[in-house]
Amino acid sequence: MDLHSALIALRDPMGIPFFPWLFQGLMVLTFALHILLVNLVVGGIFLAVYHHVKGGEYGRKLSKTMACCSTVNLSLAIVLGVAPLLFVQVIYDPFWYTANAISAWWAMVFLLVITLGFLSLYVFYLKREKHPSGFGFFGLFALVMVVFAGVIMSMFAMQQLLPEKWLSWYVVKGSLQTLGGGFHAFSLGRFLHFMVPAFVNIGIYMMLYAWYFRPRTDFDQGYLDWIGKSGVRLAKIAAMIQVVIGFWWLFSTPIKFGFYRNPVFLIGAVLGFLVMVALIMVQKDPERYAVPMGIVSLVAVLGMSAAREVLRMGYLGQFDYSIYQYPVNLDWGSTVLFLVTFVMGLVVIAYPITLVFKLGRGTLSVEEG
C-alpha cells in the first residue's frame, strides 16, 4: 500500500460533519489565541522569576503582578489549547493520532509536566512575598515545565508532518515499538519561532498594563512609567531576534515547498517585520500606542498561525493529501448547535468582562454600576 492510500485509510470513514474550511479557519484562529496565551505565560513567569531574584522596589512589584497574571494566563492557555486540539483531531486525524500513538508515553508525560508546572507556579505565587529570598526555585521549575510542555507539543506537531518516517519509527530492526517511548522529530528553529514572541508579547502586555492602570490615582505613576518603558524595550529587542529566528525557520523548511514564495508566508513575515518597526517607532511614548500595538501583535500572531497551516499543507501535499478531499457528511444540527452556543457564549461573557475591565481601571461610575 502506498502512503497516500494508507493516509486515506486512516481517515474517519464517517467523514466530517461540515466543510473542512470551517474547521481549518477555526483551528488557525484558536491556535493563534492558544499560542498568544502560551507566550504570555512563558514571558510572564520569566519576568516574575527574574525580578524576584534581581529585587528592587519596582522589580518586586512587577514580579508579584506577573506571578499572579501567569496563573490566570496558564489556565487560559490550557483552555484555549483544547479548541485547536478538537479541530486538528477532526481534519488531521490520521496525523494527530499516529503522532500521538507513536509517542504515547510523551502524551502522558505532557499531562504530568503541565500539572507539576501549574502547582509549582501557585507555590511560587503564594509564597514568594513572605519569603523574598526563597521560593524562586518553584518559579523557575514552573518555567522549565511550561517550556518542556511546549517542546513535547512541538514534537507532536513535527511528527505529524513526516508520515514517510512513521514506519521506520514504529518498526526498528524488525520489532514493533509498541511502548510509545520514542521522541523522534523536533525542530529548534520552529520551536523558537513560537517561543521568542513570548518576550515580544509580554513586553506589549506591560505597555498595556501601564495604559490600563494610568487612570487609577492609587497607583504609583512612576512605576507605571517604568513598566511601560521596560515593556517596549523588551518587546523591541525580542522582535529583532524574532526576525532572525523567522529566517532560520524558513531556511530549515524543505526548499521544494517554495515556502518563501507563498503569499501567506510573505504576509506573515511582513506582519512580523511590521511589529518590530512599529515598536521602534513607539518607544518614546509606549503607553499612548499600547492598544494599537496590542492589535498589531495579535494580527501578526494570526499571520504566524496561518503560515504554520500553509506549511502543513505543503508537507502533506507531497503525499497528495488534502483536507479539502475529506468526505463531508453534512450534519446541520450539530453544526448549528455548535455555532449558536459558541456565539451565545461570547455574548454571555462579554458583559462580565466589560464590567471587570471598567472596575479594574476605575472608570466605572456609581450610576453605571
Of the candidate residues 190, 192, 211, 228, the single one contacting ligand HEM (CB under 6 A)? 190
CA distance 109 to 3: 30
Of the candidate residues 7, 67, 69, 88, the single one contacting ligand HEM (CB under 6 A)? 88
Of the candidate residues 73, 160, 201, 253, the single one contacting ligand HEM (CB under 6 A)? 160
Residue (8 or 158) nearer to ligand HEM, CB? 158
Of the candidate residues 43, 44, 84, 228, the single one contacting ligand HEM (CB under 6 A)? 84
In the stretch 29-68, what mask flags binding to ligand HEM with x, by CB under 6 A?
Answer: --x--x---x------------------------------
Of the candidate residues 33, 47, 69, 114, the single one contacting ligand HEM (CB under 6 A)? 114
Of the candidate residues 66, 102, 146, 323, the single one contacting ligand HEM (CB under 6 A)? 146
Of the candidate residues 77, 269, 279, 307, the single one contacting ligand HEM (CB under 6 A)? 77
* Binding of residue 109 to ligand HEM (CB under 6 A): no
Q: Which of 184, 331, 311 is nearest to 257 (CA)?
A: 311
Of 287-316, binders to ligand HEM (CB under 6 A) are 308
* Binding of residue 20 to ligand HEM (CB under 6 A): no
Neighbours of 191 (CB within 10 A): 20
Binding site for ligand HEM (CB under 6 A): 31, 34, 38, 77-78, 81-82, 84-85, 88, 114, 146, 149-150, 153-154, 157, 160, 190, 194, 308
